[in-house]
Structure 1
């Protein structure tokens, strides 16, 4: 085997220095524990957001909120790792964890929590980086919401401190599963009551363009997580020094209790209308299409998918005069007008699959009047089933108008010229709207 070349020596030296630096950063756990735990945090966030990187209509409001949505598994890993560190390194048999040690208490906590947060917070940001980059490439409006992002990171830090406190209290291997179960239950509380959104890092719902987390809620969350983190830190320090809390500090324990109780008694608004975006509009025939300026790139596709469906129904008879982006709904323009269709344009929407059915169902309100929930024109089918089947086929035929060459196999309307369908709709509109039109009454059958 040939001897390594002269270029291999510098490379080997670099590798040795990197391994030594990793060991130093992970001491006393060696070179594997912290990198593996941080790698799990980053990988879980990346896996959770990977499918979103190619989504349509990404916006900064949604991406900022994803910093809270992706916390669940990383927070469990980080808090569990903190519990393991505390259980291993704060045991009464450790020389540096003795009550008389000069390092016990806050100096020891600064070392351990600095290590934990120094690995896990950058790992979390690294996992979110691809989604942030994808949003920066596609979003032409807005900016990251710093208060939402900082609140999520502060919440993660507080959960790490909670895990460390649990490990320092239990001081054996049971600290890890106990912490995992505790954090898992805590992060699910917002699904039980909206008030928990103010004191738990995760949220029960995510805002999108046109709505944003309310300023009061964002500030309250940041305050709550800071207080909880400081409380967990202080209790862990007292626990390590074997000193009970001073009686003078007892009233301070009421602060976190009040912070939890207030939003449960008076639930704060989760989202507010963000009124800083203008509308961008276009007109096709008798219908005006408007989107939020952050959805400017979606306007042409929305118009091109909705307009053929309305034209097939008959633009003069169609009840629609406006098709508007739901992100504009907070402005109140056309909010209660019966001739306005609101279209939810959210990150990951599939306009080709969502817009034609939505428009067709709006144009055919008579489907709600059908007696039979299912349709059929098989031999022996009841009259109500046959009428339901007619409206179902009509809805499919209208949806197919949005695509070139569509509608060739649309059942009762197969091969029928659009003009003949419009003439029939003009003549039997009342029957269609009341679900009393029979398949036998179609002029081409």
Structure 2
């Protein structure tokens, strides 16, 4: 069955266009509510959101959908995605919902669903719910309609969990940290947690107005945090994205530390402590070859998954790994949660910084990335990767890079673009290969 609604990370789109409407949100609530009503207990869903203007509309629509099929609703308000996953499990809810489009601009929004175990849904669950979206679902009897209530202690519960993830003998006293919350879901909880752990926190991106989420701030727009780190002479900068499941770090010199370097740090540190499970780290096909070489030199494995934190987590669970993530900053540490958590991952980085007593620039850059180039080619229709000429050009490029680099070409799961990535020891060869493939794709479309 083809997918009309669910993509690589739930349902996502432009607000009030296509699938991302109040009508769709209500139908998703009805379908998910019906699907997860198992057993004889009173059924419950927890719903969180980020700070987008459209969150009010979608939250109310989903509340109507869930209550109409007899499920009670617990509203969390603005909360990070990992907080929703945690509270779904802790509150023994049957399903959890995060209303967010992550790092996208405010005009977009999305719906992520979690099962009662706090993990994102499997493909089978998503396909089953998607099929139900096309059906007329039975509604609850008048006396069985669900109730909705808002809880006030959600932030406190999550802050406690964040702090508990830091080793008990580590404090952040004396650290000056610039924290960029992207005007998103973590704008209250992340600064509070770091401050309570002793840090001096200079917070930016903490004034959401419904339209400024990810606007010039956050993990995908680093100029603001780099400038602030240098301005206040901070020890480190921590940049989250709109729903706070992603982390990018900036060292005291204003240099970027991406997800690959963060995985290298956390993975090697846990290995040295005898706490790394699975014998390695799970990343995606987009992670730099330098990370793979760094881990291999220490007897550790890099397992590659398809792009998307859900695919990373699937491989982690299948192989018993406890560290995984993406170059873009999704960090999944299953010792502390069931999905990516930028703030928890940041605390592991800060713990390494504290224990080393060295500047961030010396602690966080553990390997030299090989030259890597990513280009996007937008298309309006068809399947350019099935074009015979494109296939021939790709095959030639793979042969040229064999043993010296890698080539990854894939369609985006969220927009009509082909992503062309190459990496290798020869930067000129990498650039030439990428341009040749992009030209072939452009010609094909």
Task: Please give the range of the TM-score, normalised by the shorter of the 2 chains.
Answer: under 0.3
Instruction: Please say which structure displays the higher CA radius of gyration.
Output: 1
More strand by share: 2
Using the size of structure 1 for normalisation, the TM-score is 0.24
More helix by share: 1
Higher relative contact order (CA 8 A, sep 6+): 1
